[in-house]
Amino acid sequence: MLVYQDRRVLPEMLILVLRPKGAYEIPRTFELVSDQKTTRLSGEWDVKKVWEVPAKTLLDLDDVGAIPGCR
């Protein structure tokens, strides 16, 4: 919200899950509604599960920062 207010550009958002833990799934959407129902704030984003991304995809980026455990 602060980036949008300052720059009038909606930033890209990505949730990166490094490994599964329990049965909890990161929701792809989120919504808050004020007590009096006059204000609503919602969001939607992609959730990327690193363990499901083929290694070739990461290696083809040619970026050591994109390869887990190589820092």
Q: Check: CB of residue 53 under 8 Å from CB of residue 60.
A: no
pLDDT of 11: 85
Q: Is the pLDDT of residue 68 over 70?
A: no
Q: Is the pLDDT of residue 37 over 80?
A: yes
Convert 12-32 to b/e letters by CB count within 10 Å (16 or more is b).
eeeeeeeeeeeeeeeeeeeee
Return the higher-pLDDT residue of 21 and 6: 6
Q: pTM of the predicted model, to two decimals? A: 0.52
pLDDT of 71: 46
Q: Check: CB of residue 18 under 8 Å from CB of residue 68.
A: yes
Q: Is the pLDDT of residue 38 over 50?
A: yes
Distance, C-alpha 4 to centroid of its chain:
17
